[in-house]
């Protein structure tokens, strides 16, 4: 990516393999909402484009050189330093010097060959396709959201925003025995997908604002102030609200009196941590049907078209396939 909406495909030399790293031939890359921020706005939050950047942090491939040679793998896109206080305490996702694929100065997975640390490559079982392997990263984010929420069996759950991560949260809520599981989403095709993924009730935003579901736990996965307001309205007094959406202008505002009078606990999501083994098991056993979320596929040469398709939100997950 050279600038806003400016995606180019070019030939580059094969990257050298460093000690402790493997050479991976990428096979599938999922396009995430944060990729779309980079594509449409030239940055995300306070990170801005400083040089041509290879996007893509949801990816899988085949190891061509390294300890797992010949194995299909999902790639954990986050490279923490491993030695700071946050890493040592078990929160590598909060590492202040973390490097992340397709972000800042770290090139991502939208290229044929990637050199990546050995310990961040996770072998895929036969039951999980390459595209499914790419979707383990957003599933990991959904798992981390769920971990932060501390959902109890039988608790009522509402999910505001039913893109791929919101849909995965719904599936986790169903698997965890939450009831009812309420999905709030303006797009009809995503409400339909929400029912398939585990929602017991679907609502449009206006209906949700009018009914105020009084949920024990609410997940906001849309990234707009309107969604945050809906999350606060949907929560019962004393509830936990998990904010996972990323706003376009790096600002989130809401009516403080609603959150204060309800005594809500707000948790914000920073990517994920230690989730790949669980994500692989959930996808392998079809507890979360990641394969069903893939609705659009494009070759690498049509990445710009793939980005434009994902921005229109006419489907669910867009995947770029590499030969």
Tell me: do 55 and 151 sit in the same domain: no
What pLDDT, on the 0 to 100 scale, is given for residue 109?
97
Tell me: do 221 and 300 sit in the same domain: no
SS3 state of residue 256: helix
CA contacts within 13 A on the Cβ side of 147: 16
Print the domain residue range for 56. Answer: 21-138+273-321
* Closest by Cα among 145, 174, 138, 141 to 240: 145
Q: What is the pLDDT of residues 89-122, one digit of tens each?
A: 999 999 999 999 999 889 999 999 999 999 999 9
Number of domains in the chain: 2
Q: What is the pLDDT of residues 7-37, one digit of tens each?
A: 999 999 999 999 999 999 999 999 998 899 8
Tell me: do 231 and 306 sit in the same domain: no
- Domain boundary among the residues 245, 268, 291 is at 268
* Closest by Cα among 17, 119, 123, 135 to 71: 123
- C-beta of residue 95 within 8 angstroms of C-beta of residue 80: yes
Residue 222 lies in a domain: yes
Q: Which two tokens stand for residue 247?
A: 């706003």
* Cα dist from 62 to 73, 130, 250, 300, 321, whole Å: 6, 9, 36, 17, 13
Rg (CA), the chain: 19
Tell me: do 192 and 232 sit in the same domain: yes
Q: What is the pLDDT of residues 30-76, one digit of tens each?
A: 999 889 988 988 888 788 888 999 999 999 999 999 999 999 999 99
Q: Which two tokens stand for residue 53?
A: 């950047």
- Domain boundary among the residues 242, 268, 294 is at 268
pTM of the model: 0.96
Model confidence band, residue 178 (pLDDT cutoffs 50, 70, 90): very high
Tell me: do 175 and 118 sit in the same domain: no
Tell me how crowded residue 9 is: count the other CB atoms within 10 A of its CB: 12
Residue 13 lies in a domain: no
Strands 43-44 and 21-30: unpaired
Residue 1 lies in a domain: no
- The CATH number given to whatever domain includes residue 166 is 3.40.50.720
- C-beta of residue 80 within 8 angstroms of C-beta of residue 120: no
């Amino acid at each position: 990516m050279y600038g806003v909406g400016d995606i180019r495909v070019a030939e580059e030399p094969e990257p050298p393999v460093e000690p402790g790293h493997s050479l991976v031939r990428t096979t599938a890359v999922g396009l995430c909402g944060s990729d779309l921020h980079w594509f449409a706005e030239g940055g995300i939050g306070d990170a801005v484009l400083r040089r041509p950047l290879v996007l893509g942090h949801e990816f899988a491939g085949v190891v061509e050189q390294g300890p797992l040679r010949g194995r299909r793998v999902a790639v954990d896109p986050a490279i923490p330093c491993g030695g700071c206080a946050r890493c040592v305490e078990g929160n590598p996702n909060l590492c202040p010097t973390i490097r992340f694929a397709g972000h800042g100065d770290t090139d991502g997975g939208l290229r044929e060959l990637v050199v990546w640390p050995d310990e961040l490559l996770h072998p895929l079982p036969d039951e999980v396709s390459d595209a499914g392997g790419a979707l383990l990263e957003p599933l990991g984010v959904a798992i981390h959201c769920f971990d932060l929420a501390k959902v109890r069996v039988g608790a009522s759950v509402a999910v505001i925003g039913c893109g791929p991560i919101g849909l995965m949260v719904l599936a986790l809520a169903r698997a965890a025995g939450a009831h009812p599981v309420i999905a709030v989403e303006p797009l009809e095709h995503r409400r339909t997908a929400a029912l398939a993924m585990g929602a017991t009730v679907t609502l449009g935003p206006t209906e949700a604002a009018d009914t105020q579901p009084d949920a024990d736990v609410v997940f906001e996965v849309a990234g707009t102030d309107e969604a945050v307001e809906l999350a606060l309205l949907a929560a019962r007094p004393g509830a936990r609200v998990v904010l996972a959406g990323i706003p376009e202008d790096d600002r989130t505002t809401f009516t403080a009196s609603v959150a204060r009078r309800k005594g809500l606990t707000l948790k914000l999501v920073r990517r994920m941590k230690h989730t790949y083994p669980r994500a692989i098991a959930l996808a392998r056993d079809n507890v979360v049907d990641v394969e069903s979320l893939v609705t659009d596929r494009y070759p690498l040469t049509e990445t710009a078209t793939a980005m434009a398709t994902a921005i229109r939100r006419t489907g669910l997950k867009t995947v770029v396939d590499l030969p």
